[in-house]
Amino acid sequence: MRADRLVATLLLMQARGRVTAAELAAELEVSNATARRDLEALSAAGVPVYPQPGRGGGWSLVGGARTDLSGLTSAEAQALFLVAGPASSVAPQIKSALRKLVRALPQTFRAEAEAAAESTIVDTAGWGEDPKDRPGLVATLQQAVVAQVRVRLSYRKRGETPKERLVDPWGLVDKDGIWYFIAGTDDGRRTFRLDRITGVTPTGTPSSRPAGFELAGAWGEVVTAMEERRSETSASVLVPTRFLKVFQHQHGRHCTVVEDRGELTLVELTAPRPLDIARNVAGWGGLITVESPEVEEHLARIGAELVSRYRRAAPASPAGS
């Protein structure tokens, strides 16, 4: 049984007052049975966690009890706040609970615990990409952010060979399964995709960060700039309603529902150029209808290229037929 999951359970209970095993299972991405066993284990260990039977029941911390984290080591405190910190970016009540829990830590641990909690945020709105497995470099970069030491990156831009960069680590962002690393460089703030980082070496040299820096605010600026570049062109598209959720997942926030027409739904797609929209939807073939002359022209050209390359010669007719 993972200690970090048990403490995360307490964080949720302190924030909400009462939870059901099903709610806890959904939050922590475990089975209902595992969530129930965790709650029972906390109760057996002497934590005042008790079930409330009947309709509308659940599990509660009796008397508004609060955990005492003074028994944690420095490493355990960091691990706890690394686990719980990202949840605070999507659940304000967790952020409030973390602030209270910091005060329960020994004074010498508080700065690193707070840095751990603020090292990573979660942005659940996707950009239409398929989620990937958590990169193995996340833990190394999180530790560099918490310890405030510079790192040497080996980074590969699209279509280029990897190059080394010496950077100041400021924070990480999990954007719907795609990870980004925000850092300071000689050229100012830069954002790196973790799936393009081929190596990380901590230098041991202290890093610097602007006074008053907030990861959430910095990421908001990155998203705004990206959205402006990605939304310069729009096109109306008719999508079969039964496939709407799949289509929305594929295109993320660049797909906006305009009108429900029963079996069809009208949506608006945005992208930097008409060609980008055409490339993004070409795989849907005749399932969708694009209502934009510029995009239609690109789709027609793409279709003609595919036909020219992949159409097989018609079989010869039998002799005498």
User: What whole-number distance in Å separates Cα of residue 291 and Cα of residue 108?
Assistant: 62
Greatest Cα-to-Cα distance within the chain, rounded to the nearest angstrom: 96
pLDDT at residue 321, rounded to an integer? 46
The closest alpha carbon to 222, from 254, 252, 190, belongs to: 190
The structural domains of the chain, ordered by start, are: 3-116 (1.10.10.10), 122-228 (2.30.30.100), 231-309 (3.30.70)
How confident is the prediction along the chain (321 residues), in pLDDT tens digits per residue? 455 677 777 777 776 778 888 888 888 888 888 888 888 877 776 667 788 776 667 888 765 545 555 555 566 566 666 666 665 555 565 666 666 666 666 666 677 777 776 777 777 666 656 666 777 888 899 889 988 999 999 999 877 888 999 999 999 998 878 899 999 999 899 999 998 999 999 998 999 989 889 888 898 888 888 777 766 789 999 999 999 999 998 888 789 999 999 999 999 998 888 998 999 999 999 999 999 999 999 999 999 998 988 887 555 555 554
pLDDT at residue 89, rounded to an integer? 57
Q: Residue 170 CB: number of other CB atoms within 10 A? A: 25
Tokens standing for residue 12: 């949720």
Tokens standing for residue 56: 């509308």
User: What whole-number distance in Å separates Cα of residue 71 and Cα of residue 172?
Assistant: 28
Beta carbons of 173 and 180 less than 8 angstroms apart: yes
Sheet holding 255-261, edge to edge: 255-261, 264-271, 233-240, 289-291
pLDDT at residue 91, rounded to an integer? 57
pLDDT at residue 1, rounded to an integer? 40
